């Protein structure tokens, strides 16, 4: 990149940083009953979890109404969700207008008392180091999905999409695998780790245990949020059953270059033994 290009990027990042601090201040100036961050890679199940948390906050089934997928408010007006807030995004320099819109939306709902901030594609380490994340956080929830299930969900979504913005949002490449590995190696202190594959099992008691850690009790999983993409496998309106999630990765075609990446020593540690066995079968054709 030229010196002029580097300077332009620096200016853009500084301007976006100003907006990020303004949003942080706007959040700090309000009296909230609860402020929760939900982080996770795209297709990890973030939006299903956010809808579930909103219901738990409300103590009833309360669908959030969204404006252009950026932000939404519950039917009662007490719970706000700011979607995909780029506080620690490596692409912060391009997000100035998004941050401004988030702050403006907060101003239109002065009576809201609960705030959910989703920070997608941002690792726990990046979030912990960010100077823009609000100081007052009542909980940090990290949504994790088994590696092959996450990759399969992205591949299934991409299979029906033309080349474009969606391809960038849910790309399946070595950069994604590096982010998965980085998250796995980041200390979990201060975070509630939520395993989406276990969370989907209503009979396991797992959801109840997570709610108890958050001081909540109402357990109701809402329909799939349209901006979250829903089920890329069946198009169902509700979340899949736990048994359906166990081996979603057996239902997609795996590109050879991705199989080569996953077979390398660099990424073996992000896979379970069962996943590794499946990849060996694919590579040997057995």
Percent of the chain with pLDDT over 70: 87
Q: How many domains does the chain have?
A: 1
Residue 233 pLDDT: 46
pLDDT of residue 97: 92
Q: Determine the pLDDT at residue 231.
A: 54
Asked, for residue 148, whether it belongs to a domain, the answer is yes
Looking at the domain assignment, is residue 262 inside a domain?
Answer: no
Tokens read off for 133 = 């994340």
Q: How many CB atoms lie within 10 A of CB 279?
A: 18
Q: Binning pLDDT at 50, 70 and 90, where does residue 106 land?
A: very high
pLDDT per residue over 225-254, tens digit each? Answer: 555 545 544 555 555 565 666 667 888 888
Query: 50 lies in which domain range?
Result: 3-253
Q: Which CATH number covers residue 90?
A: 3.40.50
Question: Which residues, in sequence order, are bridge partners of residue 35?
Answer: 115
pLDDT given for residue 235 in this prediction: 52
Are residues 12 and 97 in contact, defined by beta-carbon separation less than 8 angstroms?
no
State mean pLDDT over 30-39.
Answer: 96
Distance CA 137, CA 155 (A): 34
Nearest CA to 225 out of 108, 122, 87, 72 is that of 72
Q: What is the mean pLDDT of the chain?
A: 86
- Establish if 132 belongs to a structural domain: yes
């Amino acid at each position: 990149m030229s010196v002029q290009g580097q300077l332009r990027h620096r200016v853009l990042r500084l301007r976006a940083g100003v907006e990020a601090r303004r949003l942080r201040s706007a959040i700090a100036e309000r009296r909230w009953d609860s402020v929760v961050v939900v982080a996770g890679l795209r297709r990890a199940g973030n939006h299903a979890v956010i809808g579930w948390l909103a219901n738990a906050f409300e103590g009833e089934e309360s669908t959030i109404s969204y404006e252009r997928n950026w932000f939404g408010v519950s039917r009662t007006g007490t719970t706000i969700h700011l979607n995909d807030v780029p506080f620690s995004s490596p692409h912060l320099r391009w997000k100035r207008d998004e941050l401004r819109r988030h702050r403006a939306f907060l101003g239109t709902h002065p009576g809201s008392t609960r705030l959910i901030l989703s920070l997608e594609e941002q690792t726990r380490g990046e979030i912990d180091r960010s100077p823009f994340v609000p100081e007052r956080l009542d909980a940090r929830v990290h949504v994790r999905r088994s590696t092959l299930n996450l990759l399969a969900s992205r591949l299934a979504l991409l299979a029906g999409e033309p080349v474009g913005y969606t391809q960038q949002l849910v790309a399946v490449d070595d950069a994604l695998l590096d982010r998965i590995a980085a998250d796995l190696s980041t200390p979990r202190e201060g975070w509630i780790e939520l395993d989406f594959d276990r969370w989907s099992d209503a009979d396991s008691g797992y959801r109840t245990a997570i709610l108890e850690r958050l001081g909540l009790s109402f357990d109701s999983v809402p329909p799939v949020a349209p901006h979250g993409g829903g089920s890329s496998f069946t198009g169902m309106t509700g979340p899949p059953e736990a048994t359906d999630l166990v081996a979603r990765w057996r239902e997609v075609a795996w590109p050879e270059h991705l199989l080569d990446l996953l077979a390398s020593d660099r990424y073996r540690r992000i896979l379970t033994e069962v996943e590794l066995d499946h990849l060996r079968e694919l590579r040997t054709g057995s």
